[in-house]
Chain A
């Protein structure tokens, strides 16, 4: 590698700069837009020099947008709350259900175990609407349409397979000898599970939980089909907001910034674990 010429280094530098610009510029630009008034946004040519304003965020947080045309109600804070609630509770439920199941799949060979694990994995790749559209008809009959319970139930489709497959891998990495020794010392199965296995797989469980949270937060189609306005998360709510408000570009940008900040923050915080999780354990980071 010591023969890298100056020309090659220059090409490398230019390529990487272009790549970084392409992938980061949109986030940077929307971030700037969120601090601009509509007049600043509409100015041609666009300028990086403007006096930043918090009015867009203010309008979103108070839920009232006062303009020359009158006052517009914005339900965005409701959407944000729905996203927090749906993602957090869904992941919590998936962890409670999924971690013991992952342990069972990792430690015991029992009839059908591989079949169940595979069926769950294959759901990850089935068209979501295939399940969602008939489910929306059933939900209407049993009264689960547009309820948090109904949504959290289908969000398990996203969170549970993810947690099951990632955490299973972490359990398989722990040597069973440690657990056997603890059990022979007279401890119950449950104690072994909670005192030895779960703490040892702790980082993996945390990573799986964070990744599942990101996927739940970013999901769009589940709530689009099953939730009406007051239960919608930010992904669906932002789109509705665009349709409703039309030209309030500054607020739209601010809404996008608030909607993507949590997942971006988690990604930066937990990036070390993301690779393994994203590939469902196929690649070690």
Chain B
């Protein structure tokens, strides 16, 4: 990051110029600033709402209650169900995506026409809108004509209910998540793998070091920053999952898929409980904020490194 110093330019009216160049960066970033403020207003409102008794259908009851909403949530079994489902969804989907993404990246590591073409084609699920991806899988898992239901039946699993049974609903939405987002991990790790320095691997090959040893002692440690960035990126998105779950089942069957954002959406629109919905979202925000702080540090380290290579 080198600093461009416009002040050094020859200028006929130095004083005027100076003041203008001092203001310039602010003028240029003003829109970004305004957007910041525009977002901070509803954000602060949400925090404020979470301290109120506030239901849209009972406006007369509106009043300040401090942390009652949060206290109620702690004693609410449904809240802990939401925490459990969200964590399960996040852990399982990101875990599978990292392992599968790493496997694919290693398989496609060697640059070549076929490998490059496959890595490009694998981007397609990632470019599909998650809400639409859920609809695609809904069509494929339809009990009457869905191709996947049919194939399972051929394999002897009759009557698998996919997203409409509580026992398999989580599996089904995670499957869609894995389908959409594994390519994201894959493409980042592939770029990482291909940018690793060659010398350690050549030295290891010369010394006849076993391949699994090379992988666990050289490849993996060197790939770790990429792995961390990719995984944190996905963790942050997965804990906030909305599109796939809402589009697939709207949180059902029953309460099986009521992840944080789906739950607060329903609290807001079905039960018009603005306060409870806001409290849920503030808790979710606290989680993502902590995660994103770790992420930003990791991200900047990697970004500096990528810039250094350029």
- Decide if A122 is an interface residue (CB 8 Å cutoff): yes
Q: How many residues of B contact A (CB 8 A)?
A: 104
Cα A282 to Cα B6 with chains together (Å): 28
A46, A133, A252 interface centre (most CB from chain B within 10 Å):
A133
Measured between beta carbons, the chain B residues less than 8 angstroms from A143 are: none
By DSSP majority rule, is chain B's interface helix, strand, loop, or mixed? helix
Which one of B32, B131, B230 has the greatest number of beta carbons of chain A within 10 Å? B32
Given contacts A23-B183, A284-B191, contact A134 B26 (CB under 8 A): no
Contact with B4, one of A173, A179, A253, A278 (Cβ below 8 angstroms) = A179
CB-CB under 8 A for A164 and B303, given A252-B139, A266-B127: no
Which chain A residues border B130 with CB–CB below 8 Å?
Answer: 218, 220
B132 contacts A221, CB within 8 Å? no
A 56-97 binary contact with B (CB < 8 Å = 1; else 0): 000000000000000000000000000000000000000001
Note all chain B residues with C-beta closer than 8 A to A214.
127
Cα-based distance from A131 to B261 in the complex (angstroms): 12
Digitize B124-168: 1 where CB-to-A-CB distance is under 8 Å, 0 elsewhere.
111111111101111110101101001000000000000000000
Do A22 and B179 touch across chains, with their CB atoms under 8 A apart? yes
For this complex, into which size category does the number of interface residues on chain A fall?
35 or more
Kindly report which residue of chain A lies nearest to residue B281, judged by CB atoms. Answer: A130
Interchain CB contact under 8 A, A129 and B307? no
Quick check: A239 and B135 within 8 Å, CB to CB? yes
Partner of A15, one of B107, B188, B278: B107
B115 CB, min distance to chain A CBs, angstroms? 9
Bound CA–CA A109/B25 (angstroms): 8
Which residues of B9-44 are within 8 A (CB) of A?
Answer: 9-10, 21, 24-26, 28-33, 35-36, 38-39, 41-43
A122-B118 contact, Cβ under 8 Å, with A176-B2, A263-B127? no
- A148 adjacent to chain B (CB < 8 Å): no
The listed residue (A98, A116, A259, A283) touching B132 by CB distance below 8 A is A259
Q: Report Cα–Cα, A271/B191, bound state, in Å.
A: 13
Q: Indicate whether A29 reaches chain B with its CB closer than 8 angstroms.
A: yes
Contact assessment for B29 and A101 in the assembled complex, using a CB-CB cutoff below 8 Å: yes
Contact of B188 among A20, A45, A224, A278 (CB under 8 A): A278
Contacting pair B282 A42 (CB below 8 A):
no
Q: What separation, in Å, do the CA atoms of A224 and B187 have in the docked complex?
A: 30
Contact B307 A116, beta carbon cutoff 8 Å? no
Q: Is the CB of A283 within 8 A of B39?
A: no
Comparing B64-72, B77-85, B90-98, B284-292, the segment that makes contact with chain A is B284-292
Q: Which chain B residues lie closer than 8 Å to A280 at the CB level?
A: 299, 303
Q: Chain A at the B interface: mostly helix, strand, loop or mixed? A: helix
Considering only CB atoms, which chain A residue lies closest to B40 in the complex? A119
Q: How would residues 98 to 123 of chain A score, 1 for a CB under 8 Å from any chain B CB and 0 otherwise?
A: 10110111111110010010111111
Contacts of A221 in B (CB 8 A): 242-243, 246, 261
- The 8 Å CB contact of B42, one of A134, A219, A238, is A134
Q: Which residue of A lies closest to B226 (CB)?
A: A283
Q: Is the CB of A284 within 8 A of B306?
A: yes
A176 to B8, CA, bound (A): 13
Cβ of A27: which chain B residues have Cβ within 8 Å of it? 124-125, 128, 136
Assembled-state Cα–Cα distance A100/B31 (Å): 9
Complex-state Cα separation, A184 to B7, whole angstroms = 11
Across the interface, do A130 and B179 meet the contact criterion of CB distance under 8 Å? no
The CA of A109 and the CA of B22, in the complex, are separated in Å by 10
CA gap between A224 and B246 in the complex, in Å: 11
User: Separation in Å of the B233 CB from the closest CB of chain A?
Assistant: 7
Looking at A42, A116, A263, A284, the one whose CB has the most chain B CB atoms below 10 A away is A284
Partner of B131 from the list A100, A135, A169, A235 (CB cut-off 8 Å) is A235
Is there an interface contact between A260 and B129, defined as CB atoms closer than 8 Å? yes
Q: A46 contacts which of B28, B104, B129, B147 (Cβ < 8 Å)?
A: B147
With A46-B145, A264-B127 in contact, is A107–B4 under 8 Å at CB? yes
B192 within 8 A of A: yes
- Max chain B Cβ within 10 angstroms of own Cβ: one of A12, A184, A283: A283
Contacts of A107 in B (CB 8 A): 3-4, 25
Say whether B49 faces chain A, with CB atoms less than 8 Å apart: yes
Chain A CB within 8 A of B310 CB = yes
Q: What A residues does B108 contact at CB under 8 A?
A: 16
Task: Output the least CB separation between B213 and chain A (Å).
Answer: 15
- Set of chain A residues within 8 Å of B246, measured between Cβ atoms: 220-221, 224
Q: How distant is the Cα of A271 from the Cα of B123 in the complex, in angstroms?
A: 8
Is the CB–CB distance between A283 and B307 below 8 Å?
no
Q: Which residues of chain B are within 8 angstroms of A119 by Cβ–Cβ distance? A: 36
**From residue B185, how far is it (CB to closest CB) to chain A in Å?**
11
A29 with B147, Cβ < 8 A, contacts A104-B25, A130-B281, A267-B124 known: yes
Interface membership of A50, Cβ < 8 A: no
A121 to B189, CA, bound (A): 22
A-B contact pairs, 16 of them (CB 8 A): A1-B110, A20-B118, A20-B121, A24-B121, A26-B133, A113-B29, A127-B281, A129-B281, A130-B281, A131-B46, A175-B2, A180-B5, A218-B130, A221-B246, A264-B128, A274-B123
6 closest pairs, A vs B, by CB? Answer: A97-B31, A218-B129, A104-B28, A134-B42, A108-B25, A220-B131
